[in-house]
């Protein structure tokens, strides 16, 4: 299971010797060359809030997007919004926000101060590895579970189901995410995840068990 044991410890009833939680599998994004618009935006001010809802498509994309913009305005924060998930962006983009279709999460998230995302397994992994608080807005599937794990770790506030997302609920979550104790928990979680070697552990296990075949 390519999950961090920091995020989901091995259950006590997993007694079979061939069941393993290796740690996350991360791609090496060190060769990524960000577009000039992104590097210019990042260098023009403090770390922004990173927003990515992955591949989630929602008929209320405009409502969701406007709630995000309003919450950023109320909390006086900058934001980088990866809008490939819904394709929506306003006609007049505020100066405090940059819209991009996509960027590698493993590269972008560590350069942000808070991450807002849908709680997909891979996005949650990247969000937690960044060491920044995560605000999870689950859409469906396993996303509510990962949102609850983030909150249980103290690395983010309670998840906000997408149907309950509005400017008020997101503003509250962003203010909670800026709490010193939550930032410390998120930083500690990220440090532990970065110390793990999910791919290396998996390779060793495959070699060990392959020798028994």
pLDDT, residue 202, reads 96
pLDDT, residue 85, reads 62
pLDDT tens sequence across 154-181: 999 999 999 999 999 999 999 999 999 9
Q: CA-CA distance, 191 to 178, in Å (whole number)?
A: 18
pLDDT, residue 36, reads 97
Q: What is the mean pLDDT of residues 41-54?
A: 94
> Residue 211: is its pLDDT beyond 80?
no
pLDDT tens sequence across 53-89: 876 556 678 889 999 999 999 999 999 999 876 677 8
Q: How far apart are the first and last CA of the chain?
A: 20
Contacts of 186 (CB under 8 A, 6+ apart): 128, 131, 132, 133, 134, 154, 155, 156
On whether the CB atoms of residues 38 and 100 are closer than 8 A, the answer is: yes
pLDDT, residue 87, reads 72
pLDDT, residue 55, reads 63
pLDDT, residue 30, reads 81
pLDDT, residue 28, reads 87
pLDDT tens sequence across 98-134: 999 899 999 999 999 999 999 999 999 999 999 999 9
pLDDT tens sequence across 1-44: 999 999 999 999 999 988 999 999 999 888 899 999 999 999 99
Contacts of 166 (CB under 8 A, 6+ apart): 67
* pLDDT higher at 56 or 142: 142
Q: CA-CA distance, 58 to 13, in Å (whole number)?
A: 38
């Amino acid at each position: 299971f390519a999950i961090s044991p920091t995020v989901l410890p091995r259950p006590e009833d997993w007694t079979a010797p061939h069941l393993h939680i290796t740690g996350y599998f991360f791609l090496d994004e060190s060769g990524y060359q960000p577009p000039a618009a992104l590097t210019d935006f990042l260098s023009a001010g403090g770390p922004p809030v990173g927003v990515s809802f992955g591949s989630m498509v929602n008929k209320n994309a405009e409502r969701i997007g406007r709630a995000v913009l309003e919450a950023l305005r109320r909390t006086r924060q900058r934001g980088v919004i990866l809008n490939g998930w819904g394709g929506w962006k306003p006609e007049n983009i505020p100066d405090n926000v940059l819209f991009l279709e996509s960027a590698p999460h493993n590269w972008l998230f560590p350069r942000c101060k808070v991450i807002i995302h849908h709680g997909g397994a891979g996005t949650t992994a990247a969000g937690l590895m960044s060491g920044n608080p995560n605000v999870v807005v689950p859409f469906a599937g396993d996303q509510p579970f990962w949102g609850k794990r983030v909150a249980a770790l103290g690395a983010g506030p309670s998840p906000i189901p997408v149907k309950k997302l509005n400017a008020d609920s997101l503003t509250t979550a962003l203010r909670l995410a800026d709490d010193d104790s939550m930032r410390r928990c998120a930083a500690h979680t990220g440090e532990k995840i970065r110390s793990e070697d999910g791919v290396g552990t998996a390779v060793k296990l495959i070699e060990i068990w392959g020798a028994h075949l």
